[in-house]
Amino acid sequence: MILSKLTDYLKIDHSEFLFQFQSHPDYPSALAFSDTLDFLGVKNDAYNLEKEFWEDLPEEFITIYNQNFALATRNKSDDYTVFSDKEEKIPKAEFLENTQNFVLLFEKENPAKEKSKLNFSYFVYAVFGVILLYSFILLNWQSIIYNSLSILGVYVSLEIFRLHL
């Protein structure tokens, strides 16, 4: 099982993938394959799905084709491109005949999407600072302590929430 085309397509280190996959306690199972992809940062979910429902799958998924793990890409011409030991273009009927019901759906990381998220933490910290500044300038010492502890509690809650998700 070479899997070089598959690892190249997923943009993961081939030697690291093979090392992690072959050293997994359940090697050569689907669990070992899924755990190795998880370890290398490719989020995935495995399913045992009847082939009549494969039309609803995304355009790219991993399955077992000819007793090897393979990345299958559905083309518009109703055939499949399979990446495993080599890249092959296969008609749908032949593909479905030579595959098992195992399907592994994956999510490739998209760094551009992560960078586009707005970061509201600076805004929240600025609001906390304004509230504390207001407290120190205009309020008595009991209100300063109350506001400081309240802001500290909200800050700790936000950090726990951020770390949890």
Query: In the structure, what pLDDT confidence band is assigned to residue 116 with cuts at 50, 70 and 90?
Result: very low
pLDDT for 39-49, tens place per residue?
Answer: 888 888 888 88
**Backbone phi, then psi, for 104, in 5-degree steps?**
-120, 110
Return the sign of the alpha-carbon dihedral for residues 28, 7, 84, 73. positive
Structure tokens at 53: 């429902």
* 152 compared with 119, residue with greater pLDDT: 152
Residue 136 burial (CB count, 10 A): 13
pLDDT band at 118 (very low <50, low <70, confident <90, very high): low
156 pLDDT more than 50: yes
Between 117 and 34, residue with greater pLDDT: 34
Q: What pLDDT is attached to residue 113?
A: 46
Alpha carbon of residue 92 to chain centroid: 28
Q: How far is CA 33 from CA 14, 44, 49, 70, 157, in A?
A: 13, 10, 17, 11, 37
* pLDDT value of residue 112: 45
pLDDT at 153 over 80: yes
CATH architecture assigned to 4-112: Alpha-Beta Complex (3.90)
Specify the residue for token string 């990381």.
Answer: 109
- Over the Cα atoms of the chain, what is R_g? 25
Q: Which pLDDT band holds residue 84 (cuts at 50, 70, 90)? A: confident
Q: What is the dihedral of CA 106, 111, 113, 114, to 10 degrees?
A: 110
Report DSSP state, residue 40.
T
